[in-house]
């Protein structure tokens, strides 16, 4: 059985933002070309 290749995405870090070091990343998603991070806390 053949499997489809897993897509690999390139990225460039354009900005870095302060992040609560005690928060954990619950989820990441991309909408309209923008990456969002969810901590599940708010």
Residues 22-33: tens digit of each pLDDT: 888 888 889 998
Q: Which residues contact 38 (CB under 8 A, 6 or more apart)?
A: 25, 26, 27, 28, 29
> Could you tell me if 24 and 40 are in contact, meaning their C-beta atoms sit under 8 angstroms apart?
yes
pLDDT interval class at 41 (50, 70, 90): low
Cα(20)–Cα(4) distance, integer angstroms? 37
CA 39, CA 25: separation in Å to the nearest integer?
5
Neighbours of 39 (CB within 10 A): 13
Indicate if the pLDDT at residue 37 is higher than 80: yes
Q: How many helices (H) and strands (E) does the chain have?
A: 0, 2
């Amino acid at each position: 059985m053949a499997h489809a290749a897993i897509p690999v995405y390139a990225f460039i870090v354009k900005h870095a933002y302060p992040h609560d070091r005690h928060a954990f990343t619950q989820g990441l998603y991309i909408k309209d070309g923008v990456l969002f991070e969810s901590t599940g806390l708010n």
